[in-house]
Amino acid sequence: MAKTENSEFDIRGVNHVALVCKDMRRTVEFYRDVLGMPLIKTIDLPGRRGQHFFFDIGNGDSIAFFWFPNAPEAQPGIAAPGSLPGSGSLVSAHGSMNHLAFNVPAEKFDSYVERLVKKGVKVSRVLNHDNSPEQVSEDVTDDVYIRSVYFFDPDGVCLEFACWTRELDERDVNFSQVD
């Protein structure tokens, strides 16, 4: 991806994104044992209000989870997509987190998809995003700018392994879409 500068703030990436899980042990087993993310910090919240814990996702960035003993149940199709992209509606409510994409190396993408499947993770079909009317190509062409595969964590959080396939430039920004 092309290197661009933020003229307002020296933002260096995502420190962490904080999600809510139903079962800390199950979440640790998925993120640490299935996805291989080191568990780097655990916190018991004061007054037995729950727990907060962090996994290293690389480049100094983290994904964090809260566990609250009395949290409401998940609401797929409202607070998160009800199905994986390519197999149903990806709509979620305003202010919700639709999905979290992890950047992976393009040269390892296909083997990572195979590895997820071997670990028993149900994945979407691979989507080669391009600028065609369908916005997806069956093959990796010169027009494909990112490849994606989607899967759910144990709480229904939609995750993505994504890899840029070419450098983005001014051709990739269409201001008429912003209006």
Backbone angles phi, psi at 143, to 5 degrees: -85, -15
pLDDT confidence of residue 175: 66
3-state secondary structure of 42: strand
pLDDT mean over 85-114: 90
Q: Which of 16, 15, 41 is nearest to 28 (CA)?
A: 41
- Which residue has better confidence, 4 or 113? 113
- The full set of domains in the chain, from first to last, is 1-71 (3.10.180.10), 73-170 (3.30.720.110)
Q: What confidence score (pLDDT) does residue 128 get? A: 92
Strand-pairing partners, residue 160, are 101, 150
Q: What is the pLDDT of residues 106-160, one digit of tens each?
A: 999 999 999 999 999 999 999 998 888 888 888 898 888 999 999 999 999 999 9
CA 76 – CA 83 distance, rounded (Å): 8
Q: d(Cα 79, Cα 91) in Å, to the nearest integer?
A: 9
Element at 24 (helix H, strand E): helix 24-28
Q: What is the per-residue pLDDT across 109-120, written as a single tens digit (0 to 9) for each? A: 999 999 999 999
Percent of the chain beyond pLDDT 90?
A: 54
Report, as an integer, the average pLDDT of 85-93: 85
From the centroid of its chain, how far is CA 178? 23
Which of these ranges, 1-10, 63-72, 77-86, has the smallest mean pLDDT? 1-10
**What is the Cα–Cα distance from 136 to 120, expressed in whole angstroms?**
26
As a whole number, mean pLDDT of residues 156-172 equals 88
Q: Which residues contact 175 (CB under 8 A, 6 or more apart)?
A: none
